[in-house]
Amino acid sequence: MLIATLVVGAIGAVCALILGISLVTFAVKMDAREKEVVEMLPGANCGACGFAGCAALAHEITVNPEAPMACPAVKEDTIKAIAALLERDMGSLEPAVACVRCKGGPQEAPSRYEYVGPRDCRSAQLVAGGPKVCQYGCLGMGSCVTVCLFDAMAMGEDGLPHVNIDTCTGCGKCVEACPRGIIALVPKTGTYCVSCISEDAPKDMKKICSVGCIKCGICADVCPFEAITAEKGKAALIDQDRCRKCGLCTGVCPVSVITGRTVPEKARIIPGACIGCGICEQVCPTEAVSGRAKEPYSVDPGTCIGCGLCLAKCPADAIERYNA
């Protein structure tokens, strides 16, 4: 028994010694932070991020300052810890999802010829710029659906691709695959999007597409956060950093081209902290806040659209968000 233990122990010790020496001889230089990031990631090597494994994703995040946090399995505080380690703001690590900026399916946007060829949008684009009259709209052949590694895209009955935001990891393959640049990556946490990138003149839009942006600019006028740019001759564009998901633009758009996903959050006033200044009532776009001077104000949850403007403007930090 003793001899057995000694023998195995001795063999183990020799192996360990040789390995120790090799560790030094064959050392590979790696960014120390990268190693830490690898350790912070789940380590499942599942590939959901679109990379070959956690090590590859860690490398990408460390080396590329624009790389999003593509890992769907990682927790909020881990993202914060990685952000602190790499000294980057949350924005660049925020999970993104794909957004298809076109609502013009075969019903809404006519074709100018019958296309015969490979069932692929890029191949169709090669034939005189695609069968659709609209040179900016979705060709509906599903190249984006085919390239998706996570089955997060599917062709709908309306002839347009739809993104499953729960399974989408924001890897960006569909963005690359679309020959017209219709798909963009937007933050996962609820967003509003103008579903059109047309640059055709407003007067031509009628025969080009019934749901295309007519560049009227009403949405830009109505937005309380100045988040929408309506450049001349181009479709309206929503700045995702400024958008507070209030949804007012969807209400005023004459062609209903703006789509959005609101977060189910609302505002409420913390009674103990409220100083009754009334700023919140002044800024509220839907008149959901009411109260009397010097007394705690209150928010009507039925009217509140969760835009967060009151929260931003409150001098006493007396307003909080909650999941409605």
Partner 1 sequence: MHYILLIISAALVNNFVLSRFLGICPFIGVSKSTDTAIGMSMAVVFVIALASLVTWLLNHYILVAFGLEYLQTIVFILVIAFLVQLVEMIIQKVSMPLYQALGIYLPLITTNCAVLGVALLNINLKYDLLESVIFGTGSAVGFGLALTIFAGMREELELSSIPKVFQGTPIALITAGILSLAFMGFSGLVK
Partner 2 sequence: MSPFKGGVHPPEEKALVRDRAIEDFPLGARYSVPVQQHLGAPARAIVKAGDAVRKGQALSEPQGYVSVPVHAPTSGTVKGVAKVVHPVTGLLSPGVIIEADGKDEWAEGLPLRRDPFAMDKGELLEAIRGAGIVGMGGATFPTHVKLNPPEGKTIGTLIINGVECEPYLSSDHRLMVEEPERVLKGIQVAMRVLGLDRAVLAIEANKPDAIRVMREKAPGEITVSPLSVKYPQGSEKQLIKALTGREVPSGGLPMDVGTVVQNCGTCAAIWDACSAGVPLIERITSVTGRGVRNPKNIRVRVGTLLRDVIDFCGGLDGAAKIIFGGPMMGIAQFTQDIPVMKGTSGILVLTEKDADIGGYSPCISCGRCVEACPMGLIPSTLSRLGERDLWQAARKSGLTDCMECGCCTYVCPARRPIVHFIRHLKALSRSAGSKQAKGA
- With respect to partner 2, which residue has the nearer C-beta, 118 or 301? 118
Q: DSSP states of 278-312 as a string? A: -HHHHH-TT--EE--TTS--EE-TTT-----HHHH
Candidate residues 33, 34, 45, 204; the one interacting with partner 1 per rule CB under 8 A: 45
| 46 counts as binding partner 1 under rule CB under 8 A | no
Instruction: Indicate which of partner 1, partner 2, none lies near residue 45 (CB less than 5 to 8 Å, by partner kind).
Output: partner 1
**Three-state SS letters, 98-144:** EEECCCCCCCCCCECCCCCCCCCHHHHHHCCCCCECCCCCCCCCCHH
Contact of residue 291 among partner 2, partner 1, none (CB under 5-8 Å per partner type):
none
Min CB(5)–partner 1 separation in Å: 10
Is 228 within 8 Å of 192 (Cβ atoms)?
Answer: no
Residues 25-44 within binding reach of partner 1 (CB under 8 A) = 26-28
User: Which residues contribute to the site for partner 2 (CB under 8 A)?
Assistant: 112-114, 116-118, 120, 122-123, 126-129, 131, 147
Phi-psi category of 229—alpha, beta or left, where left has phi over 0 and alpha has psi -120 to 50?
A: beta
Binding partner selected for residue 11 from partner 1, partner 2, none, CB under the kind-specific 5 to 8 Å limit: partner 1
Q: Which does 112 bind (CB under 5 to 8 A by kind): partner 2, partner 1, none?
A: partner 2
Is 7 an interacting residue with respect to partner 1 (CB under 8 A)? yes
- CA–CA separation, 9 and 205 (whole Å): 81
From candidates 35, 39, 52, 151, binder to partner 1 by CB under 8 A: 52
Residues that bind partner 1 (CB under 8 A): 3-4, 7-8, 11-12, 15, 18-19, 22-23, 26-28, 45, 52-53, 55-56
